[in-house]
Amino acid sequence: SGIYLDGTAGGGGHAQAIVQELDAKGRLVALDLDEEAVNHVRRRLQQFGQQVIVEQANFKDFPQVLTGLHIESVSGILLDLGVSSYQIDQADRGFSFSRSGDLDMRMSRSGEVTAYHIVNTYSLEELENVFRTYGEERRARAVARAIVRQRDVRPLQTTVELKEVVSRVLPAQHQVKSLARIFQALRIAVNQELNNLRETLAVSLEWLAQGGRIVVIAYHSLEDRIVKTFFKTQAAGCECPPDFPVCVCGKKARVRILTRRPVRPKEQEIKRNPRSRSAKLRAAEKIS
């Protein structure tokens, strides 16, 4: 029973797994920023009727969605971060360097900023900062310089064009990993993913019922670091010096961390779903 929130419905796999475990009183609210994903999930879960509510929204806006549905708290929150397999497989979205498509990368097609805009209008320093900050790419400067040099001739339009330009300045043995970092960095910048995650975590416990659980699946170190730090901070109790006879700070632990180490996919799952290889799942339970 209870109400559960899937903030990143994607193709609907997790949403379906959740709703199948609910009893007759249980409900699921599933969100996704991508209109196509929302329509897909609605079709996939229509057999569950009014037990499932699917809305188009950024997961950071879940408080407004729940308020609109007259929901005051939820028993569980799930965030499966990053781009979904459903989106990666659509070449025209531009998320993958292994498929030819426009330099888009928007989670929602209504978003204003695209990868094309960043690649073709950001300064050399701004591009370098994007690749270094969001991609943790050591060759950020060289990649940014190659892009600026090429766009002075003509704008970069497609994922293939960007891949070709970037590949020229990457050592052959590191090309695939560096390309993945560059595309990741652009996607994060386009969609403000890290800011959205911080905003969501900051308010998540206010909406989680006592004993409720929050589960976050991250796919790269930047996301995972944010989640790990948040859980650790919220699990910390009294901060008074050890020689104080009584607590005066009044700080109490708000969560109990359920995953001392992140849960990683087993080899069998990786074989079935290679994209799960880098996944790290962390979970916490609200205790106050």
| Average pLDDT of span 106-133 | 96
Domain boundary among 166, 191, 216: 191
Domain assignment of residue 121, given as a range: 91-191
**Shared-domain flag, residues 110 and 159:** yes
Long-range contacts of 200-206 (CB under 8 A, 24+ apart): 200/7, 200/59, 200/60, 200/62, 200/79, 201/226, 201/227, 201/230, 203/63, 204/77, 205/234, 205/254, 205/255, 205/286, 206/63
- The whole-number pLDDT of residue 79 equals 99
Q: Is the model's pLDDT at 190 over the cut of 80?
A: yes
**Shared-domain flag, residues 59 and 108:** no
Integer Cα distance of 164 and 160 in angstroms: 6
**Shared-domain flag, residues 260 and 201:** yes
- Mean pLDDT (the chain) is 96
**Shared-domain flag, residues 96 and 179:** yes
**Shared-domain flag, residues 61 and 136:** no
Domain boundary among 169, 191, 213: 191
Integer Cα distance of 22 and 11 in angstroms: 19
**Shared-domain flag, residues 164 and 99:** yes
Assigned token pair, 9: 């419905």
| Average pLDDT of span 121-137 | 98
| Number of compact structural domains in the chain | 2
**Shared-domain flag, residues 67 and 101:** no
**Shared-domain flag, residues 44 and 55:** yes
Q: What is the CATH number of the domain that holds 72?
A: 3.40.50.150
Integer Cα distance of 242 and 146 in angstroms: 55
| Average pLDDT of span 11-23 | 97
- Per-residue pLDDT band for 287 (boundaries 50, 70, 90) equals very high
**Shared-domain flag, residues 178 and 37:** no
Percent of the chain at pLDDT above 70?
Answer: 100
Is residue 33 a contact partner of residue 10, using CB atoms and an 8 Å limit? no
| Average pLDDT of span 143-159 | 98
- The whole-number pLDDT of residue 194 equals 98
Q: What is the CATH number of the domain that holds 169?
A: 1.10.150.170
**Shared-domain flag, residues 13 and 147:** no
**Shared-domain flag, residues 65 and 102:** no
**Shared-domain flag, residues 185 and 199:** no
- The whole-number pLDDT of residue 200 equals 99
Domain boundary among 191, 216, 232: 191
